[in-house]
């Protein structure tokens, strides 16, 4: 009998997407086959403490009145002290230390800064622990919308025009933001450069909306993008890395976000079932458009040196596809678009998790 693999499931985190990560953890934990895996649930509190969690993770769900949170339960999980061993230890609230055993692979389902941006990946690289997903470079580039666009533009992939401003720019030279509106044309989107799940994003239709939008975005990051709005269908494609040097591959179907009553696909519509948005998977695309989407998605994945997984988001307008962003650790609840695209492509949610773990072990 093949021995079970030990998976450290890392979730929570210091970003504003903490609760999204918690719900993702519940979905993944439900799907991990206990005949194949021993799972160590490691929660990362909003204050940055690694705590040992238990079966309560399975109960995490989106609830507008009580969003899930990793509690500081007094335990502390310690990562390996060097690259010679993969042992995790836990200290309980009374100070007693015990071994959690050797870890085969880490599944870091952290979204946003301090997790999806290369920071956790760098820590795991330092102690030579295999992990699911992209490495330090791709994670950092994919998290920063400015650098994502810069890399993709150099690759010859169409992106929406944009202007970058820092928090200092907004204080000392606010006219730069106002000039961006003239340069790009209204409406525009104002976004934190390094945040996800549409947190801190505003659609600006007039100069009067700019101050509030900049304040909201700067609450999440000290770097902000002002981006030209693109008219078109919102189409998403899922990408998986290839094993043993094989090419990355795109899902055989795409998903579509259909706005029926909201300005854009915001946090409430993504996670709190707010009305005004419908998700369609598979999206209605011709074979030619689907093939082009798949090719662009894999090109973008390779351009940032992606590994493991990504969801690549586009607008499809009269002039073709315009890439919006790459998510190197996309929403991964069972109803999220990334697993939906693979389910419609013939790969179940548990099988997808198996494949990601296999990719992590294959590539390290």
- Choosing from 12, 13, 17, 269, which is the catalytic residue? 17
Q: Please report, for residues 158, 292, 324, the alpha-carbon distance to residue 321 in angstroms, rounded to integers and kept in the order given.
A: 7, 9, 9
- Choosing from 311, 336, 345, 349, which is the catalytic residue? 311
Is 218 in contact with 201 (CB distance < 8 Å)?
no
- Choosing from 16, 134, 139, 327, which is the catalytic residue? 327
- Choosing from 220, 266, 313, 354, which is the catalytic residue? 313
Is 54 in contact with 41 (CB distance < 8 Å)?
yes
Helix 136-143 × helix 119-126 angle, to 10° = 170
Per-residue H/E/C for 98-141:
EEEEECCEEEECCCCCCCCCCHHHHHHHHCCCCECCCCHHHHHH
**Cβ neighbours for 335, distance < 8 A, ≥ 6 positions apart:** none
In this structure, the number of other CB atoms found within 10 A of the CB of residue 184 comes to: 19
Our answer to whether residue 313 is catalytic in this structure is: yes
- Choosing from 37, 60, 271, 349, which is the catalytic residue? 271
Q: How far apart are CA 251 and CA 238, in angstroms?
A: 5
Our answer to whether residue 125 is catalytic in this structure is: no
Q: How far apart are CA 206 and CA 294, in angstroms?
A: 36
Q: Please report, for residues 106, 147, 210, the alpha-carbon distance to residue 25 in angstroms, rounded to integers and kept in the order given.
A: 13, 28, 36
Our answer to whether residue 302 is catalytic in this structure is: no
Our answer to whether residue 327 is catalytic in this structure is: yes
Our answer to whether residue 363 is catalytic in this structure is: no
- Choosing from 104, 227, 325, 354, which is the catalytic residue? 325
DSSP for residue 59: G
Is 280 in contact with 255 (CB distance < 8 Å)?
yes
Place of tokens 């959690």: 100
- Choosing from 50, 241, 331, 349, which is the catalytic residue? 331
- Choosing from 16, 197, 324, 336, which is the catalytic residue? 197
Our answer to whether residue 17 is catalytic in this structure is: yes
Active site residues: 17, 197, 271, 311, 313, 325, 327, 331
């Amino acid at each position: 009998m093949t021995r079970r693999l030990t998976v450290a499931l890392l979730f929570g985190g210091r970003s504003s997407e903490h609760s999204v990560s918690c719900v993702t953890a519940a979905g993944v934990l439900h799907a991990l086959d206990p005949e194949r895996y021993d799972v160590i649930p490691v929660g990362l509190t909003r204050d940055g403490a690694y705590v040992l969690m238990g079966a309560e993770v399975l109960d995490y769900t989106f609830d507008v009145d009580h969003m899930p949170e990793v509690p500081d339960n007094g335990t502390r999980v310690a990562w390996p002290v060097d690259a010679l061993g993969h042992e995790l230890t836990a200290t309980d609230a009374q100070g007693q230390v015990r071994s959690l055993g050797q870890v085969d692979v880490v599944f870091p389902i952290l979204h946003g800064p301090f997790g999806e941006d290369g920071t956790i990946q760098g820590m795991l690289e330092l102690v030579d622990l295999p992990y699911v997903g992209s490495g330090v470079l791709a994670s950092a580039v994919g998290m920063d919308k400015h650098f994502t666009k810069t890399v993709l533009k150099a690759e010859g992939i169409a992106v929406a025009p944009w202007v970058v401003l820092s928090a200092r720019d907004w204080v000392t030279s606010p006219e730069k933001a106002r000039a961006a509106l003239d340069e790009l044309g209204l409406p525009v989107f104002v976004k934190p450069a390094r945040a996800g799940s549409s947190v801190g994003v505003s659609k600006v239709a007039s100069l009067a909306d700019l101050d509030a939008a900049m304040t909201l975005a700067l609450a999440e990051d000290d770097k902000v993008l002002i981006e030209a709005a693109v008219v078109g269908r919102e189409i998403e494609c899922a990408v998986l890395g290839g094993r043993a040097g094989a090419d990355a591959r795109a899902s055989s179907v795409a998903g579509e976000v259909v706005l029926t009553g909201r300005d854009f696909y915001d946090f409430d519509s993504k996670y709190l079932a707010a009305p005004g948005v419908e998700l369609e998977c598979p999206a209605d695309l011709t074979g030619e458009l689907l093939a082009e989407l798949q090719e662009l998605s894999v090109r973008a994945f390779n351009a940032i040196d992606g590994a493991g997984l990504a969801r690549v988001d586009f607008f499809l307008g009269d002039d073709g596809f315009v890439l919006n962003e790459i998510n190197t650790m996309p929403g991964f609840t069972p109803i999220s678009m990334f697993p939906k695209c693979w389910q419609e492509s013939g790969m179940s949610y548990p099988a997808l998790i198996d494949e990601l773990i296999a990719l992590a072990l294959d590539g390290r």
